[in-house]
Amino acid sequence: MVTDEVAGSFKPAKATSGIKVADLDSESALTHRPGKEQVESTREMAEETIPLLVPQAKETIGDYEFGGKGGGWLAFSSLDFVGTTMASPSLFLQTSSFLTRFTQNPSPPSRQNLFASRHNIRCCSISATSSSSAPSKAFEIPWGCEIESLESASELQQWLSDSGLPPQKMGIERVDVGERGLVALKNIRKGEKLLFVPPSLVITADSEWSCAEAGNVMRRYSVPDWPLLATCLISEASLMKSSRWSRYISALPRQPYSLLYWTRSELDQYLAASQIRERAIERITDVTGTYNDLKIKIFSKYPELFPEEVFNMETFRWSFGILFSRLVRLPSMDGKVALVPWADMLNHSSEVETFLDFDKSSMGVVFTTDRSYQPGEQVFISYGKKSNGELLLSYGFVPKEGTNPNDSVELSMSLDKSDKCYKEKLEALQKHGLSSPQRFPLQITGWPLEMMAYAYLVVSPPDMSQKFDEVR
């Protein structure tokens, strides 16, 4: 699983900015969410999330490995924020009005009047099987597109091939799973390498910003990759056609499917029985904290480079939603994280195991098919061996019931406090980094060996005390 690697990968080398890192993680089951007016959503968030803006403890599920490591899509990030940053209620409420106010051209290349036109946007739906993504009116991010309309897809393809993407055996089309995806245009063999996206078309923390000055400021503050990329994406998006990434950004969803858009009451209601409820709250908290931190430490000091009309909670919700659902970790580039246009049109299937990586021989981002495809069939990769909850948390969808062999639920086990050997057993657990209670993930295909050892320890009689240490 990518989980822990990711959580560990984004600690800033130097903390010159004073920005800290919180580990994010995720896990299990879920339900359905109805469409709702986004304006109302955000207002509710303003009212309801404030008492929760305290980082939660890291859950343990990410510590267990079921599958091969592999690379691929990131499920979690480490975001930066200092301490327990509190969001101001007015911050959320203001966004509704300032989105219509923006008229400045703060710095060259000029940002256009981004927020002048209003569009209705779709609310996030969470199920691959559900087509009930009720329309919703929301804060209108004035970039991106409605993915089901395929608007911008052909322009993206044209721009990519003009910019060095070699001819492809796949095209962007409407699909049954994931709404929009890459579909085979020709026969594709098992074991074939596909994509070959050159590094010049990949966005990483090292990429040049169209507004170089803004990029330089962020680097001067040693902002770590995730918040840096989130800010970069907004900066590029706000420059519209003056950005070299404008064709890419125009093809991104105007509202990514993401739990970041759920209100507190929706999380409570639809994830009531799920352990990911807390993780979702934690994630929303961290994104909010990260934005507030950047605002206090950097944006407020350079308002001409980072005007609040552009760099605000709503645009950060969008950019983090995009990163959570599209950022890739490339194992062959020392785990570097990247947005890979074109490759990020691939949807996930738990029936394949192949993932994206940088191929040193062809100098491009590729994946190798682990099955064949006929023309017209959707081509998939794996976002990792993730539970339904993890998929919901990062990508905003849940696979069709019963189709995800990696789905899991957590079982909590603990020592009996009245056990005569309670103290010795607890010490044995602690030696191995375990605690009481301790949560273990259960999958349909099995459970961690450690869980069995834990269970044996719990029931072991005192005359087995010599063996308590064998808990692992």
Ligand X SMILES: C[S@@+](CC[C@H](N)C(=O)[O-])C[C@H]1O[C@@H](n2cnc3c(N)ncnc32)[C@H](O)[C@@H]1O
- Catalog residues that contact ligand X under the rule CB under 6 A: 128, 147, 177-181, 253, 257, 325-326, 344-345, 347-349, 395-397, 399
C-beta closer to ligand X: residue 261 or 316: 261
Q: How far is the CB of 457 from ligand X (least distance, A)?
A: 39
C-beta closer to ligand X: residue 177 or 413: 177
Nearest to 394 by CA among 73, 29, 59: 73
Residue 390 identity: E
Q: How far is the CB of 257 from ligand X (least distance, A)?
A: 4
Omega of the bond leading into 166 within 30 degrees of 0 (cis):
no
Q: How far is the CB of 321 from ligand X (least distance, A)?
A: 8
Q: How far is the CB of 177 from ligand X (least distance, A)?
A: 5
Number of CB atoms found within 10 A of residue 455's CB: 15
**HSE (CB half, 13 Å, CA atoms) of 209?**
25
In 313-352, where do the E strands start and end? Answer: 328-330, 336-338, 347-348
Residue 376 CA to residue 174 CA, distance in Å, equals: 11
Residue 308 CA to residue 104 CA, distance in Å, equals: 11
For residue 14, how far is the Cα from the chain centroid? 24
C-beta closer to ligand X: residue 49 or 325: 325
C-beta closer to ligand X: residue 122 or 180: 180
C-beta closer to ligand X: residue 138 or 147: 147
CB 373 within 8 A of CB 349: no
C-beta closer to ligand X: residue 331 or 399: 399
Q: How far is the CB of 129 from ligand X (least distance, A)?
A: 9
Residue 156 CA to residue 262 CA, distance in Å, equals: 29
3-class state of residue 353 by DSSP: coil
C-beta closer to ligand X: residue 62 or 321: 321
Q: How far is the CB of 251 from ligand X (least distance, A)?
A: 8
Q: How far is the CB of 368 from ligand X (least distance, A)?
A: 18
The DSSP result for 244-293, as a single string, is: TTHHHHHTSBSS---GGG--HHHHHHHTTT-THHHHHHHHHHHHHHHHHH
Q: How far is the CB of 44 from ligand X (least distance, A)?
A: 23
C-beta closer to ligand X: residue 148 or 427: 148
Residue 229 neighbours by CB under 8 Å, 6+ apart: 203, 204, 205, 319, 323, 327, 337, 339
Q: How far is the CB of 124 from ligand X (least distance, A)?
A: 8
C-beta closer to ligand X: residue 349 or 436: 349
CB 150 within 8 A of CB 160: no
Distance (Å) of CA 111 to CA 60, 243, 254, 384: 44, 10, 18, 38
Residue 192 CA to residue 368 CA, distance in Å, equals: 5
